[in-house]
Amino acid sequence: MSKPRVGVLISGRGSNMMSLIEAAAAPDFPAEIGCVISNRPDAHGVVRAQAANIPTRIVDHKAYEDRSSFDAALDEALTEEQIDVVCLAGFMRLLTRALVMKWTGRMINIHPALLPSFKGLNTHERALAEGVKIHGCTVHFVTPEMDVGPILIQAAVPVLEDDTPGSLGARVLEQEHLVYPQALRMVCEGRARLENGRVVIDGFEMAPPPLVVPPLG
Ligand code: GAR
């Protein structure tokens, strides 16, 4: 039986995209990366995907008059590439309700914060400004509202006294690269499903996230 085909949507450097591509290269991974689509022609992730021999497409949002026509073009590209599951990986465009509803349960996103805290941009700056002691990342099913949606997996990291947005972001990014492939695996194996707006996970063992702050002992 052929594996589900994943479409990865990016806007930038594509480090999460690479973590998915690398994970999917393992023979036992339950999905293959069918294509990478960028809304920015100059996204560095496009070059990285090409170097990894993954088909790429550009759907430049600037070429479309509104969100609906852009989303229709995205959907057409996903359909042409016979994509089953969509991963948003640093894809910085809001999607229309129509597109999100069409892909319900088959579209996931990674966000650099422990949702529902710090939706939106500049999450590491805001976490530091709030003085939180634990920060992290979240993979969730996509729903029409931005950075909201049933949570598949989260990883937490400590916030250290001398952290800058850069150092904290790097600590979080390391976890993003671990949990996104895990979440995709769970979805593609059918072990994580959306049921009545909640995520149901069947006996899945995952690596424990690093914790806890303040360090004990
Ligand atoms: C990642 O940190 C991802 O979590 C974030 O953008 C970055 C993309 O980096 N996504 C969002 O903020 C979505 N709300 P990458 O291109 O190296 O994967």
Residue nearest to atom 17 of ligand 1 (CA): 15
Atom of ligand 1 lying closest to residue 10 CA: 16
| Span 84-103, average pLDDT | 97
**Residue 42: CB atoms within 10 Å:** 10
- What value does the mean pLDDT of the chain take? 93
Where is the domain boundary, 103, 132, 147?
103
90 lines ligand 1 (CB under 6 A): yes
176 lines ligand 1 (CB under 6 A): yes
The per-residue b/e assignment along 13-29, b for 16 or more CB within 10 angstroms, e otherwise, is: ebbbbbbbbebbeeeeb
What distance in angstroms lies between residue 127's CA and the mean position of ligand 1's atoms? 16
Report the number of distinct structural domains present in the chain.
2
What distance in angstroms lies between residue 111's CA and the mean position of ligand 1's atoms? 6
Q: Which domain holds residue 134?
A: 110-217
CA-based nearest residue to 89, from 117, 54, 64, 130? 54
14 lines ligand 1 (CB under 6 A): yes
Residue nearest to atom 5 of ligand 1 (CA): 90
State yes or no: pLDDT of 211 exceeds 70.
Answer: no
Instruction: Tell me: do 121 and 200 sit in the same domain.
Output: yes
What distance in angstroms lies between residue 70's CA and the mean position of ligand 1's atoms? 21
Instruction: Tell me: do 80 and 126 sit in the same domain.
Output: no
140 catalytic, yes or no?
A: no
State yes or no: pLDDT of 33 exceeds 90.
Answer: yes
* Higher local confidence (pLDDT), 9 or 212: 9
- Tell which phi-psi region holds residue 42, choosing left (phi > 0), alpha (psi between -120 and 50) or beta: alpha
Q: Confidence class of residue 40 from pLDDT cuts 50, 70 and 90?
A: very high
Burial class (CB in 10 A: 0-12, 13-18, 19+), 61: middle
Q: Confidence class of residue 212 from pLDDT cuts 50, 70 and 90?
A: very low
Instruction: Tell me: do 93 and 127 sit in the same domain.
Output: no
Burial class (CB in 10 A: 0-12, 13-18, 19+), 148: middle
Q: Tell me the C-alpha to C-alpha distance, in Å, between residue 102 and each of 57, 78, 84, 98.
A: 21, 12, 12, 6
pLDDT digits (tens, 9 = 90+) for 103-140: 999 999 999 999 999 999 999 999 999 999 999 999 99
Where is the domain boundary, 45, 76, 103?
103
The per-residue b/e assignment along 88-121, b for 16 or more CB within 10 angstroms, e otherwise, is: bbbbebebbeebbeebeebbbbbbbbbbeebeee
Cα–Cα distance between 103 and 97 in angstroms, integer?
A: 10
Query: Which CATH number do you get for residue 19?
Result: 3.40.50.170
12 lines ligand 1 (CB under 6 A): yes
138 lines ligand 1 (CB under 6 A): no
Residue nearest to atom 14 of ligand 1 (CA): 111
